[in-house]
């Protein structure tokens, strides 16, 4: 079981590519010599029993790296880091272990071991070898069906959702919802609710699962390493104080201020930034007001000067 890159030992969260004859099996390293991986029909082969089958089942296994590699060469392959930002390592490991032991829908072209480990590391599925198979053999991509022996079999995304419902975020946690184009950020305030800016930039409070819908999410307190968070009570107070207000900054920046600024008030940085657009409009309005006043005063001054000149002419008329 040689590591093709012996100078780099696997670290928790790393994707492990295992080179079998004719294909690659994939696993995710969880530490202490262990991996979690998806195997078709519970076997160690990592591939479906055939391309013609429209429905297969797979088992998510927690195994040793040595056993999953089975004597084959392997390497660490986090190449998708160039395209996507990986989820927090602790979260990756938590979800991998939570899903271990579950039976899920398996398809060599749409839901294989490579799809599974990318879903864990990035929250998005990817399989280069599945794309190659589909390109070479179009019929290898059958019509999707996750009904097996008359029973519904969860997809890996559905099993991930089940794990999410048991993840129990803590009040004050930053929540990153994995949207197709741009991730959405919120602050968890307890009782299943989050506070976040809606599409109209107005801060609202809603249930997390109602907002996320079918999209995956994770706890991502990535800024804690560079900015010390406030105590939970202050974070919740800051978040609730902003409900109903319109913001003029990005969601991530807003949540960062809520989590790290001492107090949301008239003198705080967050309020200054939140009200930036309003303050700018007020400044422009006040400038226009001053111009109007100055114009009126100047006009009155001219009228008064003209009136004084007329009076002087009348007084001097007898002496002319």
Q: Cα dihedral angle (287, 290, 291, 296), rounded to 10 degrees?
A: 160
Q: In Å, how far are 52, 134, 189, 235, 272 from 239, measured between CA atoms? A: 53, 48, 8, 6, 15
8 phi, psi to nearest 5 deg: -120, 110
Q: How far, in Å, CA of 114 to CA of 116, rounded?
A: 5
Exposure string of 79-118, with b = 16+ CB inside 10 Å and e = fewer, is ebeeeeebbeeebbbbbbebbbebebbbbbbbbbbbbbbb
Q: How far, in Å, CA of 125 to CA of 118, rounded?
A: 5
Start-end of H helices in the chain: 65-69, 89-99, 113-122, 128-136, 156-165, 208-212, 232-241, 251-260, 269-274, 276-316
Q: List residues with catalytic annotation.
A: 25, 37, 113
Which two structure tokens, joined as six digits, stand for 223?
Answer: 């800024």
Which of 44, 40, 41 is closest to 18 using CA atoms? 44
């Amino acid at each position: 079981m040689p590591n093709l890159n012996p100078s780099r030992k696997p670290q928790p969260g790393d994707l492990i590519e295992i080179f079998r004859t004719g294909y690659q099996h994939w696993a995710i390293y969880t530490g202490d010599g262990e991996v979690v991986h998806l195997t078709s029909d519970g076997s160690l082969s990592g591939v479906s029993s055939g391309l013609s089958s429209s429905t297969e089942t797979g088992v998510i296994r927690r195994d040793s790296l040595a056993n999953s590699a089975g004597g084959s060469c392997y390497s660490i392959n986090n190449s998708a880091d160039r395209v996507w930002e990986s989820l927090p390592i602790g979260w990756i490991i938590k979800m991998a272990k939570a899903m271990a032991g579950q039976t899920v829908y398996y398809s060599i072209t749409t839901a294989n071991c490579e799809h599974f480990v990318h879903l864990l590391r990035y929250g998005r599925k990817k399989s280069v070898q599945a794309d190659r198979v589909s390109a070479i053999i179009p019929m290898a991509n059958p019509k999707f069906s996750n009904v097996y022996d008359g029973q519904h079999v969860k997809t890996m995304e559905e099993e991930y959702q089940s794990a999410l419902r048991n993840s129990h975020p803590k009040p004050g946690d930053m929540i990153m919802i994995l949207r197709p184009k741009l991730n959405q950020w919120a602050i968890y305030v307890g009782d299943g609710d989050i506070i976040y800016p809606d599409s109209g930039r107005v801060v609202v409070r809603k249930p997390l699962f109602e907002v996320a819908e079918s999209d995956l999410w994770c706890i991502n307190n990535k800024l804690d390493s560079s900015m010390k968070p406030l105590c939970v009570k202050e974070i919740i107070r800051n978040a609730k104080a902003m409900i109903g207000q319109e913001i003029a900054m990005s969601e991530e920046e807003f949540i960062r201020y809520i989590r790290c600024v001492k107090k949301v008030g008239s003198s705080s940085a967050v309020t200054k930034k939140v009200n930036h657009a309003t303050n700018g409009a007020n400044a422009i309005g006040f400038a226009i007001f001053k111009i109007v006043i100055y114009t009126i005063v100047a006009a009155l001054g001219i009228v008064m000067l003209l009136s004084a000149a007329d009076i002087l002419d009348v007084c001097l008329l007898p002496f002319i």
